Each structure stands twice: as C-alpha cells, then as structure tokens.
Structure 1
Amino acid sequence: MQDNTVVLDIEPEDERELLYQPVPSMLYVPLEVKGKRVGVLSVQSYEAGAFDETDLQFLQLLAQHVSIALENAALREELKQLTRTDALTGLLNRRAFDHDAFIALTTAQHEERPLNLAILDVHRFKQINDEFGHQAGDAVLATVGQILTQALPAPHAAFRLGGDEFALLVWGTPARLSELTIRLTHALRVASWPLGVGPICLHSGWAQWPEEGLDEWLSLADTRMYQAKRRRIEGRQVDWGLDFGENSPEELSQ
C-alpha cells in the first residue's frame, strides 16, 4: 500500500491528466428527497469491470441513508424557518429580530459599514380593529408585510415585532434610506386595502449606526417613532405613507 500524499500545487499538465483520464467503470445512484431528485451518488474506477451487482446494491443502500439524512436536514431547516417567521405577514418575527440585529450590529462594527434601524407602527390600528373588525386588521398587517418584503431585498430585512409594530434593518447611507422611504410611501399609497380602511400611514422612527451609539440604538428608534405618533395626534400629520415626525433620515444624517 502506498503512503498517503498531499499535493499543494498541481501543475496544469498534471491537472489535465488527472481530470481527463478515461474511467471505464462507473456506478450512479440517484439521491431523492420527498420524491424529488436532488443529486447523484457516484463511484468510479479506472479498472474495467470493477463493479458487480453487490456493489450496486451497497451503493443503493448508501444512497438511501444519504437521502434520509438530506431530508432530515431539510426538515430541520424548515422548522428553523417556522420558528423565525410570522405566520400572518410572512416577515421575520421578534425572535429572528433579536438574533439578526445582534449579528448585523456585530458585522457593522467589524466591517465599519453604516447600518440603520427603523421602528414602525400602523396609525389608528386599534380604531381599524374596532370599526372594521379583526379580519380587516389582519388584512392590513398582511398587506404591510407584503409591501415591506417587496421593498427590502436582501441584505436588508423586515420584521414584525408584534401587534402592529414592525422593524427594518437597512444597510447603507442616508441616501439609501431616502430611496427606500420613497418606495415605501408610494407602495402604501397605491396598495389595495380593505374597503374603507386605507390609505394607511406608518409612524416611523429611525436610528443610524455609527452616528448614534449602540446602547441607545433601539431605544432612539422607538422613541422617535412615538414622537411621530404624538405629532400626528396633535394634528401635524401626513395623510398616508411614512410619518417620521421631526426625525426623517435626511435630518438625522445632518
């Protein structure tokens, strides 16, 4: 038996010789998960007639075990996603936010990238539930979820924290935030809302890192959202879209 060998730098000529040698004996067995073919398990030999029926049966048995392992891994991933997803809106939930916000902040610090947090809630949501019923309220939340999902492609993320409160994690400068708010405002204006309910306004409070400290990041966004809500109650308001109060992304960046 030859000793094991580690090759750290293969010459192009050797690579071609290794990759393109004729392989006269092969066994292929499909890997299936839930009836769908996801791959192939293959054994090859440079010797002619190297395999027999016993080898095939063994490879088929091995493929069954690999398929079961792949299916179990897929089920675990599905379960993980269920524990991170809000059933009504399809957004990530509060549990996912607590985890992902920590990871995002750690990444922002390490890579020195600007990261922004927004806390949103739906104006007069309790009134919507009282006047139109909880089914209409659920429809409003589901529509907001769809709008946020479409407006925030990865790596940005939207979350439902609970009730009518949402959170956004947005990477980039104030210019990126301004583009996002324009898209969201337009989407809220043209969305199809339950009869008599729309258009909808979202109170919003922003916080930006590194302009604002990590310790006050979440509390600042939350406080500014409630300032926007109080401003609207006092009659200084917009009719639909995003209401920032006196703390728009542009003002926070100055």
Structure 2
Amino acid sequence: MGNLKLFFTFKIRLIFALSLLALFLIHTPLNKQFAVVIFLEFIGYGFVCKKLFDKQFSRKLKSFPYIAAIVDVVLVSTLVSFATGGIKPLFPLLCAFIGVYAFFAGLRLSLSVAVVSTFIYFALFKFFGAISHDASYYIVRISLFYIVSFFVGMPVNQKDKHRENSEFLTRRLEAEIEKNNKMKEKIKKQAKELVVMHELGRIMNSENNSLKEISDKVAFILARHLGLKSFCIFILNEETSQLEIKSSVGLPKGIERKIVINVGEGITGKVAKTGDPMLINDVSKDERFTYFGGLCRNIRSYLCVPMTIDNKVVGVISATDDKPGYFTVADMNLLMDVASHLSVAMQNIKYVDKLRSMTSMDGLTGLCNHRFFYHRLKQEIASAGRYRDKLSVVMMDIDFFKRVNDTYGHKAGDRILIGVASIIQSACRESDLVARYGGEEFAIILPRTSKERAMAIAERIRERVKKRSFCINNEGTKVSVTLSAGISEFPTDGQTCNALVEKSDEALYCAKHSGRNRVELYISQ
C-alpha cells in the first residue's frame, strides 16, 4: 500500500512539473479560480505526504520528505505566481504552505520549507521586478515564515515526540509482557517437569511394585501432568523379539492385545532396533508408519523414545496426537527422561525378583524354601479367616531316605528329591504352594481346600511317587521310593502357622508309625 502511495505522489509531481513547463512555453496566464483550486489540491496533497512520513518509509527514504518539500514549494509558488500574473498572493500562500507542512510534518521539515520559501520569495520578486520596499519590510515578512513554522510546528513536534515515546513505551511494555508470558510458560512447564520427575522418583523408590503397576502409574502421571492424550508403554518380549503394550492411555479398548510390533517394523520397531528417538510431525507423509488396520487412523503427530538398560533396548514409549506438529524437541527430551526412569525401575524389578528368588527358592528342587513357606502360610491363613474359607496343610516325607543316601550316595538322593518335587508340583494347582520344608520333607499349602479334598490330592501324589522309578546315576540305575503324609485343616485343627504345621507333623508321625507309604488326617485326641 505504501509503494502505491509513493507511485501516485511522484505521478502528481510529474503532472505539476509538466504543467509548469507548459506555462513557460505558451506564456498563457491562468485565472485566479484555477490558482485557488491548485492551492486546495496541494493542501489535500499535504495529507498524502503525511502518510508518507510513516516509519516504514522514513527508515528507507529519510531524505524523501525534504526533497518533496523543495519540489512542492517551487511548484506551488511558481504555478500560483504565473497563474495570477503577479506575486501579491505569494506571501500568504507561502505562510499557509509552511503552516500546512508544520502541522502535518513537524518543526524540522517546516523550517526547511521556510528556508526554501525565503529563496523562492526573493527570486520571484526579482523575476517580476516588484522589489520596492526597504529591507525591514522583507525581514518582517521572512521572519513570519519562521514564526509560523515555530509556533505551528513546535506543538506538533512535542505531540509527535509524546506519541513516539508512548509508542516506544507501549512496544517495550508489550515486549516485556510477551517476555514475561514466555518466561511464565517456561517456568510453568519446568514446574510440571519437576513434579513429574518427583512423582516418578517416588514410584521408583516404592516397594512391592510390579512392572505392570509401575507402567500404569507412569501412564497416569504423564496424562495428568503433561496432558498427553494418547501414548503407549511397550515392553520387549525377549523370547519373541516383539514389542507388547504394557500400559496405555487414550487408545481404543482392547487395542493392547491387537498391537504387537516386531523389532525393526515401522517407526516404533525401528526405534527399538536402533535405540534412537524419533519425532514425526506428520505421519501421513511418512511411509514407515503403520496404521494397524485402521486402529490408529486418527494419528498425525508421533513421538517415540527407547527404554534402555546397559545400552540394550528393553522397550519404548510412544506418544501420539491428532494434530500435526504437536510435539517439540523439549517434549522428546522430557519423554527420554521418563523412559530413563522407567528403565531403571525395570532393572530394579529384575534385581529384586532375582533376589527374592534367591532368598525364597530352594536351590536344588526349585521349590519354595522353608522361610517363604511360612511367609505364604501366614498370608493364606489371614485370607481364609477374612473370607471364612478352609485351608489345608500337607506335610510329606520320603520313607527310608537315609537308607538311599547311605546305599547310593547323596548325588543319588538329590536326583530322587528333584524327581519327587516335580511329581508333587505337577499334581497341585497354580493357587497351591509347594515347598521343600527341609531335608527329604515337603510341605503343601492348599487354599480353599477341605482336608478331605487334601486327602485325595495327597493320595494321588503318593500313588504317582510309588509307581515311579527314579534314575539315580549315568549308568541307568533306578530306585523306587514311597511317601508318607499328614494333613491338618484351618480353622478346625489350628488357627496359626505353628499350630497347623504341628498338627500336620503329628498326622505324618502317625502315618510313619502305621507302616509308612500312607496318608493320615490329624485327629484330635
């Protein structure tokens, strides 16, 4: 728009310049009415010039207003003088012209117009031969040029200065407000990140959390504090080399079972393969993205980061949104921190599970040990008491096991122990617990089981052991053994761990003294 104004301004000047040339060539004086019209046109023209003094022009064309002023004064003065055939209207015309420039352009430019007007005034007086007064007459008139310029232009200058200062302060204020808003947003975002890190640290340091529980809690934190609408936590199944969803937010119900990603497949699989994070602003333009049969058709932005332990990828976290370009590098860095914390949690869970296994499992048979048996029995008694269920405890012992060790050696005895443990374990349910109580003695916890039902289970185990021949060495030597067992029931026979074990031991003692290879129920004296 500004360039268009400049074009028309120069076009107007060109028309007046040609008009002046025509006047000189044809020496045809114009009437006074036309001179008035020209003057009024130049007053309107002053408004156009005012628009050209905007900062966008003054920075590029700083000298333009002064050149324009000189051209304007020369054109107007000359045209009016020739149009009226004299210089009588020249003085008021120049005063008015200086006032117009002072009003529209300020003091400095109006002073320049006054200087030019002074020279034009004397030049035209000399040209028309009209110098007939003394010097004081002309000094007073010339002084009026500068007085008009000063008294009209000074308030304008002050007003413009105040306006410029006001605009400057407004811009500064707006810049400060914008800066403060950005700082506020940055602080707010950092505060959210700190809260997330604090919450993650609290979760990671908590005990008795499974990987599923930790993943769900991390998903909840990301959704609540970071406002992520849709994301998944994938864990690498080392046996199948596939990524399986451990926890998710914002995905269709049941999608966890439908999405299984091979390592190297799509964007998520590539992150798992390379260990490098990926930020995709628009997945519709990326051929690597997999829509899984339309299950992920609304996704546009995609962010995926790896979870690593000892430089080995163990899973990935992916976040999605339906708007393109939603995620930033800062989001990626934050999700990398989350992935790092979750990786540490996974490693800790593995270590804890390994330690628990070492402290709760029998090294020879792979069954639970004496210590874990009592820990679990205490829990099962509390649960049975709460729900008024029955609970049976079975104590088993291999008959004449010392004779086997003395005859064939302890290595042979170990093989028999492993074989008997396997038979007992296979005969029990997943909810049952089988433990090596000590030496050749085994213990079984049967939740929600009466002693009559426990009797049937124990008899089945006894029969299987009796029919089985155990290979005790590399030569193929086989040995058969038998079992004796005693059974007690909660709450009939006892309501504590020690009471139930003692009652089962008494029943076992009874089985031993009744000929062995038999199962006995505890019967109160």
Report runs of 4+ in structure 1 exceeding 6 Å deviation. 18-21
Aligned counterpart, 1:228: 511
Aligned to 2:94: none
Q: Deviations over 1:213-250 (max 9, x none)?
A: 32532211111211211222xxxx54xxxx22xx348x
Give per-residue Cα distances to partners, 1:13-53, cap 9 Å, x unaligned.
Answer: xxxxx868944322122435574644x31333454212244
Aligned to 1:146: 422
- Rounded Cα–Cα distance in structure 2 between residues aligned with 1:175 and 1:61: 56
**Corresponding residue number in structure 2 for 1:9:** none
Answer with 52-61 or 158-167: which moved more.
52-61
How far is 1:133 from its partner? 0.2
Whole-Å separation in 2 of the counterparts to 1:44 and 1:119: 56
CA apart distance, 1:106: 0.9
- State the identity as a percent: 27
Structure 2, gaps ≥5 residues long: 1-184, 186-223, 225-249, 253-296
Separation in 2, partners of 1:148, 1:65: 41
RMSD between superposed Cα atoms in Å = 2.8
- Structure showing greater Rg: 2
| 1:213 equivalenced with 2:494 (yes/no) | yes
CA distance in 1, matches of 2:456, 2:396: 17
Aligned to 2:465: 188
Separation in 1 of the partners of 2:325 and 2:434?
Answer: 58
Report the AA paired with residue 186 of structure 1.
E
Residue 476 of structure 2 corresponds to residue 200 of structure 1: no
Which shows bigger deviation, 192-201 or 131-140?
192-201
Alignment of 1:82-161 (within 5 A): 82-161=358-437
- Secondary structure in 2 matching 1:92: coil
Q: Which structure's residues are more often helix, by fraction?
A: 2
Structure 2 counterpart of 1:70, from 343, 346, 353: 346
CA offset at residue 54 of structure 1? 4.8
Q: Which has the higher strand share?
A: 1
Using the alignment, how far apart are the partners of 1:69 and 1:189 within structure 2? 47
User: CA offsets per residue over residues 131-190 of structure 1, 9 Å max, x none?
Assistant: 110001111111111111111122111111111111111131345324313431332134
More off after superposition, 52-61 vs 78-87: 52-61
Distance 1:212 1:201 in 2: 26
Q: Is the 1:128–1:197 contact (alpha carbons within 8 Å) kept by the matching residues of 2?
A: no
* Residues 92-132 of structure 1: per-residue CA shift (max 9 Å, x gap): 00110111111111111111111101111111111111111
TM-aligned CA distance change 1:179 to 1:224, over 3 Å: closer
Higher relative contact order (CA 8 A, sep 6+): 1
How many aligned positions are there? 225
User: Does the CA contact (< 8 Å) of 1:116 and 1:209 recur in 2?
Assistant: yes
Change (3 A) 1:19 1:89: closer
Task: Name the structure 1 match of 2:438.
Answer: 162
On the 8 A contact 2:451/2:487 being kept in 1, the answer is: no
The amino acid that maps onto 1:63 is: A
Distance (whole Å) between structure 2 residues aligned to residue 149 and residue 33 of structure 1: 35
TM-score normalised per structure 2: 0.39
Q: Which residue of 2 aligns with 1:177?
A: 454
Corresponding residue number in structure 1 for 2:320: 44
Report the CA distance shift for 1:221/1:152 in structure 2 as closer, same or farther (over 3 A).
Answer: same
Distance change >3 Å, CA 212–CA 137, structure 1 → 2: same
Equivalent residues of 2:487, 2:508 under 8 A apart: yes
Q: Equivalents in 2 of 1:132, 1:36: separation in Å?
A: 49
1:75 Cα shift? Answer: 1.3
C-alpha separation in 2, matches of 1:90 and 1:26: 45
- The amino acid that maps onto 1:181 is A
Mean Cα displacement is larger for which, 221-230 or 90-99?
A: 221-230
Q: How does 1:236-247 map to 2 (within 5 A)?
A: 237-238=516-517, 243-244=518-519, 247=520
* 93 and 199 in structure 1: CA distance in 2 versus 1, 3 angstrom threshold: same
Question: Counterpart of 1:211 in structure 2: which amino acid?
Answer: T
Report the 3-state secondary structure (helix = DSSP H, G, I; strand = E; otherwise coil) of the residue aligned with 2:336: helix
* Gap regions ≥5 residues in structure 1: 7-17
Following the alignment from structure 2 to structure 1, what is the Cα–Cα distance between the partners of residues 313 and 461?
39
AA matched with 1:176: R
**Equivalent residue letter for 2:465:** L
Whether the aligned pair in 1 keeps the contact of 2:304 and 2:319 (CA below 8 Å) is: yes
